[in-house]
A and B are shown apart, each in its own frame.
Chain A
């Protein structure tokens, strides 16, 4: 994978607005953003309602995904271009999730909804109407998803990257600062994890930094390219952003997203936790 195969620009999207094989998909934390205006022709996927199981603490199954994409009019051969608010956090999460279920042609709009808005490009309130399809998902690609036991085993042996803000890493905050601070779990990070906030991979307008800047960022953080890498955050969406950078832009081989992330790890009994700004010992 490379920048060219994984990212598209806002100009490219504007040039392909009338191409029915290109499906724009808006995915937001705040699902109402789509209703106030979206890129013309884009369909909406609700990060919570559509992609989370709702009973089990997990994302929806392969069968539910097939139902969802069939109803939304997405075909197996379509190119899906994801974009959204929050600097593409949830769009990157949806990209990772679709990759997990084997969709071939996936792209992320560089800069997401913010860049589109800051450029003052056209937004529409017309809801896209695509004829229903019969979508068939593939079996899960477990090489890009980490579960908790693998994460615990990775302490001191694999690259662990905590992509939350420094205050969350150190245990001073439990959630991003635009959300009420919940007290249901402890603060801190997984010992030996390096802290490379997802935001360091992005410019202020939400676009990704250059390949050279990204390579330097993770090299400076001590990421050993000879080892497998697991990225995590609080609920797995910001770490999808970093997974995207490492796997899809820089083309690293073995990169997993731990979507259980701190909301799971920070609630486990009996696992080691480090506090403060340093990675801590194994």
Chain B
């Protein structure tokens, strides 16, 4: 694969209007990281969910409206935190570099 796709996985078939979606792609030196784990932490720092990235480095959460933190763990890398705001009917795209 040459370079990373932009943004999270396709939203075809997802009822975005009623969801607060947080999604994106994890890259290392511009290349997608397919074996990373992205955790969603709530406003108090408590774990809420975790997903492995797809082969194309992509991930998605159905969160609630509010402030969240994404914590990304990848093989042979220190974990990376990204702050993100979610809102109903909005797709929050996050680019994570490890």
Contact = CB atoms under 8 A, between A and B. Distances in A.
Interface of A: 33, 36, 85-87, 114, 117-120, 165-167, 172-173, 175-181, 197, 199-200, 204-205
Contacts of A173: 48, 64
Interface string B60-76: 11111000000101111
Given A86-B50, A87-B50, A204-B71, A178 B44 contact: no
Interface of B: 14-15, 18-19, 35, 37, 39-40, 42, 44, 46-52, 55, 60-64, 71, 73-76, 79
Q: Which 8 A-B pairs have the closest CB atoms?
A: A199-B47, A177-B49, A178-B49, A165-B48, A178-B51, A176-B49, A120-B75, A177-B48
Contacts of B60: 178
A167 B37 contact: no
B49 A120 contact: no
Contacts of B62: 175, 177-181
B50 A178 contact: yes
Contacts of A200: 46-47
Given A165-B49, A167-B64, 19 more contacts: A86-B50, A114-B73, A118-B74, A120-B76, A165-B47, A166-B44, A166-B46, A167-B42, A173-B48, A177-B61, A178-B40, A178-B50, A179-B49, A179-B62, A180-B15, A181-B19, A181-B62, A200-B47, A204-B71
A165 to B, nearest CB: 5
A231 B50 CA distance: 21
Contacts of B14: 180
Contact of A85 (B47, B48, B49, B52): B52
Nearest to A113: B52
Nearest to B35: A117
Given A117-B75, A204-B71, A199 B46 contact: yes
A197 B50 CA distance: 14
A165 B42 contact: yes
